[in-house]
Structure formats: C-alpha cells, structure tokens
Amino acid sequence: MRASSALFAVAWGGNEFTPLLVMYRSVEGYDQVAVDMLLASYVLGIVPALLIGGPLSDRRGRRALMIPAPVLAMVGSIMLAVGAESLLMLFVGRVFSGLALGLGMAVGTSWIKELSERPHEEHPERVSAARRASLSLTAGFALGAAVAAALAQFAPLQTVLPYVINLVICVPAVLLVMGAPETRPAAQNPGPLLTDLKIPAARQHRFWFVVAPSAPWVFGCAASAYAILPALTADVVGPSYGIAFSGLMCLVGLGCGFVIQPLGKRLDRDGSIRSLAVGMVAVILGMLAAVLASATLNIAVVLLTSAILGCGYGLCLVSGLQEVQRIARPDDLAGLTAVYYSVTYLGFFVPMVLALVSSLTSYPWLFCSGAVIAALCLGVMVYGRRHEVRDLDAVAAGGVVGR
C-alpha cells in the first residue's frame, strides 16, 4: 500500500491535465494541435525516466528512485498551476509530470511486484502483482482527471485549483513511500551504468512479436477516449459543461479499464496469448465504435465508445504487465517494465497525429484505419505465438532425436 500510494499520486498528477484540454482551448485560446502537443509532451519526460530510472533502481534500490517521483510531480503541478498563460510553462510542467510518472511506473510497478512475493506477501499465489500495479495506476489516472475536471468546471480559480489537489496528495505519498520495505538492496560493486541499460530480456521473440504489438494501443485507446472524442463533441456539449464532460469521459473510460482488469488475470495462462488477444479484440471494437461516435457525435454513443475503449486499455495494460513480469529476470525486471511502458506511451501521440492529418480526411475514416491497424497487430501477435510454438516443438523434437 505504501508503494502503491506513490504510484497513485504520480498517476493523478500525470492525468489531471487531460480533461482540461477543452479549458485551454476555450479560455486560453490555444489551438487543437497545441493542446494535443501539450498532452503528448509529458512523454518526453516519461520515456527517459523509464529507460534510465528502471535499470538504475535495479542497482540502487527501489526506494531511492521512488521517493523523488512524487516530488517531481509536485514541481510539475506547480508549474502547470502558475503557467496557464504560457505555452512554454505548460510544456515544461508537463515534462516534469512525465518524469514523475516515468519513475513511478518503472520503479513502482517493479517494487509492487517484489512486495507481492515472499517474505512480504504471505500467500503470493492468491494475488496478482501486475493487477495491483495497474489498478493503482488506473485509479490515479481516473480520479485525477475526474476531480480536476469538476474543479475546473464548477470551482473558482479553474486554471489553478485542479493542480493544488495533487500537491495535497503527493506530500503524504512521499512520507509513506519512505517507510516501505526495500526489496532491491543497492549493489555493492556496481559496474558501469551503460551495462545496466542493456536489457537482455527485451531481445526475446515473445516480447517483440506478442507483447509489443499490443502496447501502443494501451494509451492509444485511452487518448482516443478522453482526448479526441471530447474535443470532437465540444460544440455539441457546449461551453457550460465541456470540461465536465471531458472529465466524465475520462472517468467512464478509465473506470471501465479499472473494473475489467480482473478479467485479464482470469484469462491469463502461461504461454497463451488469450488475455492479450481479448484485449486487442476490445481495441478493434472500440475503434469501430469510434467511427460511429465521430460520425454521429451522439452523446450516448460517445460515452459507450469511451467505455469500450477503456476495456481495451485495461485488458491490454494488465495483460502486457503480466507478460513482462513473466519474461523478465530479477536483474532486469524494472528495465523490461520500462521498455514496455515506453512502447505503450507511443499511443499518446495519436491525438496530435490525427489532429495534424484531420484536414486531409475525416475522423470516421481515421478511426476506421485504426481498427484495420489494430487487426493487423493482432495478426502479428497470432503469428508470433505460432512461430514460438513451432520453435518449441522443434527444440523438443531435437531433444528426442538426441536421446
């Protein structure tokens, strides 16, 4: 719970900005490409923090790398609170939020995995470390967005108050995480850091042909649900409730992602791709629903689409983490987790890319293309799994001949 509290706090800080995109367009006058750029800009903080922080925690310990995460989240929230009129301040604030979230995801997910094993967990066979981490993350994403949207829509100081809440959450998170048990003592004679940045498990066939094709759809689904669709329906909802509706979309999408994650655990089987495949089917259905939602802009259809996309997000996230924790060795658990999350965050560039090309075609056609690409990714996963099975059969046959 102590480690999860920090992951929850940085996830809150990472997603509190998302439903406020409508506000920055209407109040501050930023155009759609600019606000989508701000949405994606925190990936510039996330990816370096993931790729360096994860392996660094494998050699320096989890606590030492996790304590700075809520502190960086507070710095990001302060800059966002005071920088509403400056695109540069908002950009830098988002990067700090990304640094915090990157550390939290790589280090916190690995730490929660290790705290879910003996001697810290009495019955590790009864729990899912991947689900504990993904639920902490999703809860922070969902509540951070919902509370920020409600405050920005109905409370005073709409560009400031939503970020103050994250400061209140991060202070106790720092204190709590300081008391969490260390599971990865610092190495006595660590070699060069560059050596630790090499992650042997990331070269595995299963990671690139089964896990990686589904990874960008984690946040590709989420960003479609709570960034693209609210922007498309802004005129239908009207300025009086635009921010609140954006927050509702976040809550519906991420709430469904939260609720469906236990299904990923039940579907999961060692060596199977069933859990990930079901997640990708949900992604395809979500993209097809988004075709209808963007064509009709019917509020009920838009909300239903957000729910389906949220299910795709939740299943792909928890299933991907289960695969990563199965593939990784103890020495590169945080490193492989970092690589996985880095690939998932490619999906956050989807809104910006679609905004740039939307002048060439319509959003229904773009979402239709998304469904086709998701189906192709599922095909790659099926091929990867079959190729893996053939390799195992060949090895087994070779063993029989040798004997």
List, for residues 176-228, the tens digit of each pLDDT value: 999 899 988 876 666 666 666 677 767 788 888 999 999 999 989 988 998 88
Say how many C-beta atoms besides its own lie within 10 A of residue 175's C-beta: 12
Average pLDDT along the chain: 86
42 pLDDT exceeds 50?
yes
3-state secondary structure of 37: helix
- What sections of 83-228 are H helices per DSSP? 87-103, 109-115, 129-154, 161-178, 193-196, 205-206, 216-223
Shared domain check, 215 and 126: no
Q: Rounded distance, CA 96 to CA 45, Å?
A: 6
How confident is the model over 73-94, as a mean pLDDT? 93
Angle, CA of 309, 73 and 60, to the nearest 5°? 100
Residue 84 lies inside a defined structural domain of this protein: yes
Residue 187 lies inside a defined structural domain of this protein: no
Shared domain check, 151 and 107: yes
265 pLDDT exceeds 90?
no
Angle, CA of 44, 242 and 237, to the nearest 5°? 130
Last residue of a domain, one of 148, 179, 210: 179
Residue 192 lies inside a defined structural domain of this protein: no
Shared domain check, 203 and 175: no
Sign of the torsion angle spanned by Cα atoms 324, 329, 330, 336 = negative
Position with higher pLDDT, 36 vs 69: 69
DSSP sequence for 197-225: T--GGGG-HHIIIIIGGGTHHHHHHHHII
Last residue of a domain, one of 179, 212, 227: 179
Shared domain check, 156 and 29: yes
* Full domain range(s) for residue 213: 198-402
DSSP state of 184: S
Q: Residue 158: phi, psi to the nearest 5?
A: -65, -25
Of 140, 56, 43, residue with least CA distance to 98: 43
pLDDT of residue 59: 78
Of 227, 222, 225, 204, residue with least CA distance to 339: 204
How confident is the model over 102-106, as a mean pLDDT? 90
pLDDT of residue 204: 82
Shared domain check, 204 and 327: yes
pLDDT of residue 389: 55
Q: Rounded distance, CA 9 to CA 136, Å?
A: 9
Residue 372 lies inside a defined structural domain of this protein: yes
Shared domain check, 355 and 252: yes
Residue 191 lies inside a defined structural domain of this protein: no
Q: Rounded distance, CA 31 to CA 374, Å?
A: 29
Residue 125 lies inside a defined structural domain of this protein: yes
Shared domain check, 205 and 159: no
Per-residue pLDDT of 266-302, as tens digits, reads 887 776 788 999 999 999 999 999 999 999 999 999 9
Shared domain check, 369 and 304: yes
Residue with tokens 């960086």: 72
Q: Rounded distance, CA 305 to CA 285, Å?
A: 9
Per-residue pLDDT of 328-341, as tens digits, reads 887 777 788 888 98
Shared domain check, 157 and 205: no
Shared domain check, 218 and 343: yes
Q: pLDDT over 70 for what percent of the chain? A: 92
Taking the whole predicted model, whether its pTM rises above 0.75 is answered as yes
pLDDT of residue 192: 65
Residue with tokens 């928890």: 318
Which CATH number fits the domain that encloses residue 32?
Answer: 1.20.1250.20
pLDDT of residue 401: 38
7 pLDDT exceeds 50?
yes
Residue 288 lies inside a defined structural domain of this protein: yes
396 pLDDT band (50/70/90 cuts)?
A: very low
Residue 208 lies inside a defined structural domain of this protein: yes
Say how many C-beta atoms besides its own lie within 10 A of residue 376's C-beta: 11
Give the number of residues written for the chain: 403
Contact yes or no for 243/18 (Cβ under 8 A): no
Contact yes or no for 327/204 (Cβ under 8 A): yes
If one counts the domains in the chain, the total is 2
Per-residue pLDDT of 362-385, as tens digits, reads 999 999 999 999 999 999 999 888
Shared domain check, 318 and 171: no
Q: Residue 213: phi, psi to the nearest 5?
A: -60, -25
Q: Buried b / exposed e across 154-170, counting CB within 10 Å, b at 16+? A: eeeebbeebbebbbebb
Shared domain check, 162 and 292: no
